[in-house]
Each structure stands twice: as structure tokens, then as C-alpha cells.
A and B are shown apart, each in its own frame.
Chain A
Amino acid sequence: MMNRTNLTRAGAVAFGALVLASAGTAVAAADETDDVEINVEVTDRYPSGVLAMTVAAAETTLTEIDSGDPLVREFTGQLPTVTVTDTRSTVPDVPWAVLGTASDFVSSASTISADHLGWTPMLVGDYGPAVEPGGDIETVVDDPGSEGLAYADGELLYVNWDQADTYSQGSWSATAGLQLKVDATQVDPGAYTSLLTLSLFE
């Protein structure tokens, strides 16, 4: 009996068959055409490879957090991500390192010495044993013997030469949490700035 439902169904089936048939034809037709060759020549722009550093474009601000100790004021921030890329074809003789040194925090009226700044380096990814982040550097408030980042040449990221056998080309990223701790009773209010120098040398 040809009621409307049956008609619709029949139409759908026919349409589907038509589509399949067309597709089949198209596929068959495609197989018959010629392959298109794509040629590209990739030249070695930097034959000996590069040892390069990338610094993310970011401001570094320090915001206050609760230090848990009423006599200590704590400010934290984050270092922009630093990436070292080594694509050199020969393994270098000397391991590279990225070191950080901070200058004193200076405002228009007073100074906070740089040993009040510490950091906790960390790798961004999971790399092998050949490249390691540096150790944490304490502020002088936490450890009176510490120099903080004041000319302490803190290591952010370095190659562990004991693992030189496992060192190979790659790209390694690190960042660091920054902590500025000051004695709450002695600090003068103001807008302070400091300069943190990151150096990549072999």
C-alpha cells in the first residue's frame, strides 16, 4: 500500500543509493587520475645547529601574600619561562648554564637589599637527567647566612655534566617562583624596582 510513510521511506532509500553510487563512481574516478607530486627541498639553514635562549614576553610583578608570620611580609611572583634550545650537531665540550643574579630593590626613598629575594627554579616539562633545574635559594629572612639572589649566581637551568652521556639535542624550559620577604617592622612603603639578570654562557 503506498501511503505517505512508505513513500518517504522509499524516497530515502533511493536517495541514499544514489549518493552511494555517486560516491562510488567518484572514488573510482579518483583512482584513475594521476598522483600529484609534491616536491620540497629543505635546506639546512644552520648547518652547525644553534644554542639559543628564548625568553617569554611577560612582566614580572610581585604581589603580597600572607606570610603566616606577622613580622614578615612576603611577596611572590613568577619568572617568565626561559627556554634553551640546543640543535648543535656536535656535543659541546663544556656544559651550558643559565644563571640569575638580582640587584637591590630601589625606591625613591630607600632600598631593600637583594638578599631578600629568593627563588625556586622548576622545569616546565619532564626532561632526562642531563638537564636540571637549580636548587632553591632562600631569602635572608629565612636563612640569615643566605645571600639570596644578590650576586649569588643562582642556577636556573643547567646541564649536568655527570650525565653527559645522556645529553642530546633538545629544548628545555624552566621558570622560577620568586619570593621577596622583608621584615615588616623595617620596610619603608614605596614602589621598588630591581633588575634580575639571566645569563646563558658556556
Chain B
Amino acid sequence: MNRLLHRIATAALAIAVLAIPTTPAAYADDQPDGDVTWMMRPSDGVGEDGRAWIERELEPGASVVEHLLVRNLSASPVTFQLSAADGYFTETGRFNMLTSDQASVGAGTWIDIPDEVEVPSGGDVIVPFTLTVPDDATPGDHAAGVASSIRSSSNGEVGIESRVGFRVMTRVSGELAPSLAVASAGAFAGSWNPFDPGRLDADYVIENTGNTRLSVAPQIQASALFGLVSFTMSGEPIGEMAPGESRSGTVRVSSVWPLFAYSTTVVASGAPVSDELATTEAVSGSASSLVIAVPWSQLAALALTALLLWMLWRDRRRREGVVAARIERARQEGREAVLAGSSAAP
């Protein structure tokens, strides 16, 4: 019975035709059969305007019209779906926006864009869209993106939606408050070999708690023995972080001698990212922790050496004692012999 079920399941999963796509069937009609090549860039209403993405500074309640240009480089006309969604930065610092099945709640909802555009082969179409800042928008940077997409023919189990887009970054004017929060923890890993230094790992989490986008350069400062030994090391710089995002990282410092305790501080220096929008002052955050680095192997080696020395010393004392006892006995015998000799003489 199991075998039969297994076979049915295999057949069901392998045959794609039964799959009912939950998306509108319009996609299947619109896609040409060949490869599709296209691009999308910001436009000034007339053509490409050279911007890589859109950055605007707006008051709450303001509304502007921006344009995008879609160019179809394929062999046949294609209808592209247009979408706007909240934007964010990934763990590795790349920009992406929410997928079509996720609901936007932030700046993605501020953009009003037509649903689709048909572009002839080799041609451009410029599409206007509106960016409206709500009256109650919080000041600071808000990230969104717009994209043009096509859907592959939906006969496979995995439908592919491919999109090309660009960022739409809005800075809502008001009080800009850049700030960073850092949390850190460190650990020391010693070596069995007393002549080998150990390794200090400092883990940190940096959160952008302000309302502006920041680029962050983390740095580890460690000191021991009341400052006699200290060093600093830089962590992997973070290219760009949007408000509310956090990034974690680790700095590994090798060749660190275990000096009982290291006072470790992670300092994150933030700097403004964008040249177009007004610059803000530099901001930083830091967190300290104590990393215990007991030199176990070195202490063990010292203890072992001390033990050996003490044993050697004790041994020597004992031998000296034995020798002294022999000398004393010899003297005693000598005295007795002398006494015996003198008493024997007349």
C-alpha cells in the first residue's frame, strides 16, 4: 500500500500540469517564447537621466511624479508587470525589495504605479509614477523599490518571476536622529602549547536605531593588564544599513597572549551614505565586555616546572643528608678508633 502511495506521490509531484497557479492566467498569454532581455532605469520623463536610482527629500504630505524607462531588447514585444514594494538591505549588503506575494507596509505603499506596460521590440517606454509621502510619515530615510517583471510559463512546479528594478529612497524631512546600538560578546580560545598564543573572537551585533541610512565601520579595541597591553582591529565594514536593520559580525584576533582578562570594546562608527541627501554628523555606538583569558597551559607548565625543581631540590637535600650522615659516621668511627688506640697504648 505504501509503495502504491509512493508511486502516486512521485507521479503527482513530477507532473506539473495539475498545478493550478494562484496568479492570474494573463501571464501565460503575454510571454513570448524566446529569451527576454530588458532593462529599467530612472528617467526624467524624456529619456534616461543617468541616475542609478531615485533619492528624494520630501515633506510629509508631499507628492512628486517620477518616471521610469523600460527598454525591451528582445526579439518580440513584451508586456512587463510593474510593481513597487518596501526595500531593504540583505545580510551581505545588497538591496532587494519584497516579493510579489509579500505585503508592503512602508515606503512601498507610497508609490502609485501602473500595473503593466507593453514595450515593443528594441523600443523604450517611459512610465510616470507618483510618490506620495503620508502626512504621518516619520522623519528619516525610507527605502522602497520599483521593478518590471516577467513570469516564466507556469507549467513547471517552480514559477520564475524575474524582475529588474531600482531603489526609490525617500528622506522625509524632520528631525534626523542617526544612532547605532551595539551588543558584543567575546570569547578566548587558548592553546595547549604554552608557547603558542591563543585567539580572541569578538562577536557583535550592530543595529541602526536611528532614522537615517548609515555606513558603519566596526572596530575592536582590547586591553589587558590595566592598559599595558592593548590593540585594535577593524571588522568588516558595512556598506549601507537602513533604519531598523541589524547586522552581526565577528572579528577574530589571532596571536593574543592570555593575560587573565581583556577589556574588549566594540566601537561602530557610522557615516552618512548618500551624497545627494543632506549629510548628517558622524555617529557611533559601542559596547564593552570582559573576556576572561586564563593562561591555563602556561600556568600548568609553570606548575610542572616548579614541581620538578622542588623534587630535584628535595632529592639533592636528601642526597646531601645521606652524604653528611656518612661523613658523620666516618668521623665517629675515627674518633672511636682513636679512643680505642689511645686506650690500648700504655
**Which A residues lie at the B interface, using CB under 8 A?**
46, 48, 50-64, 75, 77, 79-80, 82-83, 85, 92-94, 97, 99, 101-103, 105-106, 108, 117, 151, 153, 155, 158, 178, 187, 189-202
Shortest beta-carbon distance from B125 to chain A in Å: 15
Q: Which residues of B contact A200 (CB under 8 A)?
A: 162-165
What's the nearest-Cβ distance from chain A to residue B168, in Å?
11
Q: Does the CB pair B166–A57 fall under 8 Å?
A: no
Does A77 contact B97, Cβ atoms closer than 8 Å?
no
Q: Which of A80, A99, A155, A189 contacts B13 (CB 8 A)?
A: A189
Contact B160 A79 (CB under 8 A): yes
Q: Assess the A153–B90 pair: CB atoms within 8 A.
A: yes
The closest CB in chain B to the CB of A54 belongs to: B37
CB proximity to A under 8 Å, residues B82-126: 90-92, 94-97, 99-102
Q: By the criterion CB–CB under 8 Å, are B165 and A198 in contact? A: no
Q: Given the complex, which residues of B lie within 8 Å of A103, measured CB to CB?
A: 99, 101
A199 and B101 alpha carbons, distance in the complex (Å): 14
| Nearest B residue to A178, CB-CB | B158
Some 5 contacts from A to B, beta carbons below 8 A apart, are: A58-B152, A189-B8, A196-B161, A197-B99, A200-B162
Q: Which of chain A's residues has its CB closest to B17's CB?
A: A191
Instruction: Return B54 CB to nearest CB of chain A, in Å.
Output: 12
| CB contact between A53 and one of B38, B94, B99, B161 (< 8 Å): that residue | B38
Instruction: Say yes or no for B34: interface residue by CB 8 A criterion.
Output: yes
Q: Determine whether the beta carbon of A61 is less than 8 Å from that of B162.
A: no
List the count of A-B residue pairs having beta carbons below 8 Å apart. Answer: 182
Q: Is the CB of B158 within 8 A of A106?
A: no
CA distance A59 to B15 in the complex (A): 12
A72 to B22, CA, bound (A): 28
**B272 close to A (CB within 8 Å):** no
CB pair A99–B90 under 8 Å, yes or no, is yes
Return B31 CB to nearest CB of chain A, in Å. Answer: 7
CB-CB < 8 A to A97: which residues of B? 94
Decide if B96 touches A101 in the complex (CB within 8 Å).
yes
Kindly state the separation between the CA atoms of A108 and B21 in the bound complex, as whole angstroms: 10
Interface 1/0s, chain B 15-58, versus A by CB < 8 A? 11011111100000001111111110100000010101100000
Cα A180 to Cα B241 with chains together (Å): 32
Taken together as a complex, chains A and B put the C-alpha atoms of A85 and B165 apart, in Å, by 15
- B74 to chain A: closest residue by CB: A54
Contacts A77-B158, A80-B160, A192-B19 given; indicate if A57 touches B38 (C-beta within 8 A): no
A153 contact set on B, CB distance < 8 A: 90-92, 94, 96
Known A-B contacts A48-B50, A62-B13; A194 and B159 likewise in contact (beta carbons under 8 Å): yes
- The reply to whether B162 and A52 form a contact with Cβ atoms under 8 Å apart is no
Across the interface, A52 reaches (CB within 8 A) one of B37, B48, B160, namely B37
Chain B 155-197 interface mask (CB, 8 Å, partner A; 1/0)? 1111111111111000000000000000000000000000000
